[in-house]
Amino acid sequence: MKQTKAKPRRAASGRARKPGVALLVATRKGAFVLRSGADRRAWKISEPLFLGHIVHHMVQDPRDPRVILAAARTGHLGPTIFRSTDFGKSWSEAQKPPAFHKAPEGRTGRVVDHVFWLTPGHPSEPGAWLAGTSPHGLFRSQDGGATWEGVDGFNENPKRPLWCGGDPTPDGPKLHSILIDPRDRDHLYLGLSSGGVLESADGGHDWKTLIQGLDVVAGFDASDQRVHDPHCVRLHPLAPDRLYQQNHCGIYRLDRPSEKWVRIGRNMPKAVGDIGFPIVLHPRDPDTSWVFPMDGTEVWPRTSPDGKPAVYATRDAGHSWRRLDLGLPRENAWFSVKRQAMSADDLDPVGIYFGATHGEVWGSRDEGKKWACLARYLPHIYAVETARLPR
Amino acid sequence: MRVIIPSALRSYTGGQSEIEASAATIDELLRELDRRYPGFRFRIVDEQDSIRPHVKITINTEIAGSLDAPLRSDDDVAIIMAFSGG
């Protein structure tokens, strides 16, 4: 993409033209970028990026919209991170990707299987990024993603076995949902699947657990952090004391300084339940969020309940939920949406997007009232992140 | 020695499928290749210095058992993306 000057372009009317929206779609077989104008009526898909690579996450840097990082590996080759400074026109590979310390002689060391999650750093730290890996690992870059170092306060913490010793998820244990308090760059949250939610007040040197109020699978002890599975945790950017969570066992809200999660998913229709992977927050209204429920009954099919996919939204912080399925398939549609594969833009009204496991990208430009398929026939989708097209 | 580069790694070597190098062991060879092509080694050797599970390295068609395997100047070394059941 041709880079433009920072001065905003102006429409014929003289008003500044709103920048367009892009969707960064990461899949099991490469990545794609969908582009649209600010009206979000027509979308154009790119050629595949990193074709054949397993791309778990692709994220824009809000501090410099030209920068995108992509976490990738292949079936044979080890994990790495690619970085673009021209919004995907060209890419360079990390000189030192996330990797655990080499173990002392005679001991078995951990090996990063894949980088699962990318989070741009606090606005006060240009070039800083955090990454979560499988198996559980937390890594930091201070140079825009070129080199990465382990966060020893997590990776080497003596309490790590208490957090990370549970049953791994089917595709390997994952550290995800790395959240930075916009008021305090040292105040962090993260999610462990499995392992619960952790909070740090000192930039990641030490951590405490936040699992009060969370249910666990019947037969486990809820006081054992290792059996907690927060699928996706979000912090509201304008009300950072409010967190939401889509868990393996329900949908929750947490209003700090309380440390007890409230299961707001109990207000979902019983026939649908409150199991799923993603949760998405309204960029301006802390009471509004969206989820994409999946079937968590019997053997956990992880499909749309009853073959009828739908987004559910709450406008009152989880006291009530509304089904939003206009435009979505009405029957015999058995897909689901993974934890990173649903996101919102920051326009008004808010655009909501999700990528499904069967390779379709769906979008709504009216906060979920009406849905349209934006792309199909893509590989299994792992992540969909919104981005602002650079001016 | 001649080093055969699989297609999956040719993005590092500028598209070259064969390169010439000299080294006394597989480990020394891969470190030399990483100096020439930054990032190359970590894609096939993990942080615990183990060859990744779906990668094989052969010396004159025999699979090298470890990174310590010795090399001679007239060896043919191949880095192979292993068949993994599909």
Q: Is residue B61 part of a domain?
A: yes
CB–CB of A307/A332 below 8 Å? yes
C-alpha–C-alpha distance, residues B54 and B81, integer Å: 6
C-alpha–C-alpha distance, residues A306 and B64, integer Å: 52
The pLDDT value given to residue A167? 62
C-alpha–C-alpha distance, residues A136 and A225, integer Å: 14
The pLDDT value given to residue A162? 86
Q: List A16's β-bridge partners, or say none.
A: A10
Three-class SS state of A184: coil
Three-class SS state of A150: strand
The pLDDT value given to residue A301? 86
Instruction: Give the mean pLDDT of A165-187.
Output: 87
CB atoms within 10 A of CB A368: 25
Confidence of residue A4 (pLDDT cuts 50, 70, 90): very low
Give Cβ neighbours of residue B11 (< 8 Å, ≥ 6 apart). Answer: none
CA distance A83 to chain B (A): 13
The pLDDT value given to residue A277? 96
The CATH number given to whatever domain includes residue B77 is 3.10.20.30
Three-class SS state of A229: coil
The pLDDT value given to residue A147? 96
What radius of gyration, in Å, describes the C-alpha atoms of chain B? 12
Q: Is residue B13 part of a domain?
A: yes
Give percent of chain A with pLDDT exceeding 70.
94
Q: Is residue B74 part of a domain?
A: yes
Query: How is residue B10 annotated by DSSP?
Result: T
Q: Is residue B62 part of a domain?
A: yes
Confidence of residue A171 (pLDDT cuts 50, 70, 90): confident
Q: Which of B42, B51, B79, B83 to mutate to test the interface with A (most CBs of A within 10 A)?
A: B42
The pLDDT value given to residue A15? 58
Q: List A302's β-bridge partners, or say none.
A: none
Q: List A353's β-bridge partners, or say none.
A: A343, A363
Dump pLDDT digits (tens) for A189-198. Answer: 999 998 999 9
DSSP codes, A86-97: STTSS-EE-SB-
For chain B, say whether A107 makes contact (Cβ under 8 Å): no
Mean pLDDT across chain A, nearest whole number?
A: 93
Comparing B52 with A6, the larger pLDDT belongs to B52
Give Cβ neighbours of residue A359 (< 8 Å, ≥ 6 apart). Answer: A27, A376, A377, A378, A379, A380, A381
Dump pLDDT digits (tens) for A225-256. Answer: 899 999 999 999 999 999 999 999 999 999 99
C-alpha–C-alpha distance, residues A260 and A245, integer Å: 12
Instruction: Give the mean pLDDT of A151-179.
Output: 87
The pLDDT value given to residue A11? 46
Confidence of residue A299 (pLDDT cuts 50, 70, 90): confident
CA distance B5 to chain A (A): 13
Chain B contacts in chain A segment 67-96 (CB below 8 A):
74-78, 80, 93-95
**Is the confidence at residue A144, as pLDDT, over 50?**
yes
CA proximity to A72, closest of A100, A31, A33, A32? A31
CB–CB of A371/A326 below 8 Å? yes
State the total domains in chain B.
1
Whose tokens are 């009060």? That residue is A212
CB–CB of A268/A276 below 8 Å? no
Dump pLDDT digits (tens) for B17-36. Answer: 999 999 999 999 999 999 99
Dump pLDDT digits (tens) for A87-123. Answer: 999 999 999 999 999 999 888 899 999 999 999 999 9
C-alpha–C-alpha distance, residues B13 and B6, integer Å: 10
Dump pLDDT digits (tens) for A336-362. Answer: 999 999 999 999 999 999 999 999 999
Q: Which of A51, A53, A77, A115 to mutate to test the interface with B (most CBs of B within 10 A)?
A: A77
CA distance A62 to chain B (A): 27
Whose tokens are 């934006």? That residue is A374
Q: Where are the alpha helices (DSSP H) in chain A?
A: 152-155, 160-164
DSSP codes, A231-271: EEEEE-SSSTTEEEEEETTEEEEEETT--B-B-GGGGS-TT
Q: Is residue B53 part of a domain?
A: yes
Confidence of residue A16 (pLDDT cuts 50, 70, 90): low
By residue range, what is the domain housing residue B33?
A: 2-81
The pLDDT value given to residue B86? 57
Sort out which chain B residues have CB atoms less than 8 A from A100's CB and list them.
47-48
Whose tokens are 């981005």? That residue is A387
Describe chain A by its helix, strand, coil percentages, rounded to 5. 5, 35, 60
For chain B, say whether A376 makes contact (Cβ under 8 Å): no
C-alpha–C-alpha distance, residues A245 and A318, integer Å: 11
Sort out which chain B residues have CB atoms less than 8 A from A113's CB and list them.
none
What radius of gyration, in Å, describes the C-alpha atoms of chain A? 20
Q: Is residue B86 part of a domain?
A: no
CA distance B47 to chain A (A): 6
